[in-house]
Amino acid sequence: MSRSDEQSQVSEVKRNLRLVEYQIAQAESGIAKIQQAYENDSPLYAAEEATRRIIEYRDRMLRATRRKEELETSLQRITRDAQSLEQTREALARVHLENVCSATFEEKVRVIEILDIKVYPSENLDHIGVTCAVNLAGLEDEGKQASCYNTNMASPKL
């Protein structure tokens, strides 16, 4: 799951949470209005009518409360999964760095051959061009500093 998908899911769940909280507030408000009208001996509600409507509002509140709990659980799961994914990425990056640092020269040469990395210096040796046969376009979406295009670098001369 990409970060943008995760963020859109989180924003959608939060929006739904706000909607459910609004529904709960509306039901509470409806109950309060009915109770107040009934206690003031208003001719709007007979005893049976007031009881029936209060039961309906309580049922709405119960359903909305259950939905809110489901959404909160879902939000916690999304957050926990995102944290777990980030921890996994960090662990893989550490292992990758350790493997690169501890690799022998022959192993590094083999990786360069597999990736088909080519380095082309310019005629005046101002810069170099680096190409790679691996399509790195998918990494660009995740904010990595990789590109599937030729890369120019400054000269290593001091």
Distance CA 21, CA 11 (A): 15
Kindly tell me if the per-residue pLDDT of 151 is higher than 60. Answer: no
Both structure tokens of 30: 């409806």
**Mean pLDDT across 63-83:** 90
Kindly tell me if the per-residue pLDDT of 158 is higher than 50. Answer: no
Task: Determine if the pTM surpasses 0.85.
Answer: no
pLDDT higher for 25 or 98?
A: 25
Residue 116 has what pLDDT? Answer: 81
pLDDT higher for 115 or 27?
A: 27
pLDDT higher for 142 or 71?
A: 71
pLDDT higher for 33 or 130?
A: 33
Neighbours of 7 (CB within 10 A): 12
pLDDT higher for 29 or 126?
A: 29
pLDDT higher for 4 or 87?
A: 87
